[in-house]
Amino acid sequence: MTKIYYRLLSSLVVAILGFFAQSASAEKADRDKPINAQADSLKYDDLKQTSVFTGNVIITKGTIIMRGARIDVRQDPEGYQYAVVSAEPGKLAYFKQKRENGQDEWIEGEAVSVEYDGKADKVKLIKNAVLKRLRGVVLNDDISGNLITYDNTTDVYNVEGGAAKNADGSGGGRVRAILSPKSANNTTAPTPASGMPGGITTQLRSTPAISSEKK
């Protein structure tokens, strides 16, 4: 009887530990979180599993925050979600996500268009793209280019410049980057990249409270 009791107790402990481990993993992955959205209008197609949000759109998905004039969302048969964020003319779409490295680090970016791939956990910032890595509120990396791809699972950036303006290869098409050394005690923000020739001078906007109502 005692042996059966201990076997049952061991099985129960293993099941509980497995449940909490699975829950912790689910909490960590933004791609497994539901989408919460605010917008002026919504067009939803249940058959195609697509949603089109327009007008001052704010979407949250776990630690992810997306803002734009229009956000198109689709879901594949496996349940993975994809989003395309479009900005108003003359403005930039916004994206922010916490890095999955156990530290208080965030990726924050703006571009004319933002594409989020929930299955691969990747984001693309397309045209006039700016990507910043923040440790808490301290700026660490500041990158600009024509196309920036960020992989949240591997913490890898890929940055491409556009067509150079000048015959010698210099000009606005060049990739610009300030990369701070990785240090646990690094609390000094690097010099802004706006002073560089051809650098992007876009200032990232602070994120408003998601629960705030329009006035």
CATH number for the domain harbouring residue 120? 2.60.450.10
**Residues 63/79, Cβ–Cβ less than 8 Å:** no
Mean pLDDT along residues 29-46: 91
Question: Which ranges of the chain does DSSP label H, i.e. alpha helix?
Answer: 2-28
Query: Could you give the CA distance from residue 41 to residue 21 in angstroms, rounded to a whole number?
Result: 39
Assess whether pLDDT exceeds 60 at residue 191: no
Mean of per-residue pLDDT scores for the chain = 76
> What is the SS3 assignment for 35?
coil
pLDDT of the residue at 127 = 95
User: Is 164 within the bounds of a domain?
Assistant: yes
Assess whether pLDDT exceeds 60 at residue 161: yes
In the block, residue with structure tokens 């803002």:
67
Q: Compute how many other C-beta atoms are within 10 angstroms of the C-beta atom of residue 123.
A: 25
* Helix or strand holding residue 125 (H, E): strand 122-135
**Residues 131/114, Cβ–Cβ less than 8 Å:** no
| Domain of 96, in residue numbers | 35-195
For 91-146, what is each residue's pLDDT tens digit? 999 999 998 766 788 999 999 999 999 999 999 999 999 999 998 889 989 999 99
- Domains of the chain: total: 1
User: What would the two tokens of residue 153 be?
Assistant: 């699972």
% of the chain with per-residue pLDDT over 90: 50
Assess whether pLDDT exceeds 70 at residue 190: no
**What pTM does this model have?**
0.69
User: Is 27 within the bounds of a domain?
Assistant: no
User: What would the two tokens of residue 122 be?
Assistant: 């990747």
- Torsions phi, psi of 14, nearest 5? -60, -45
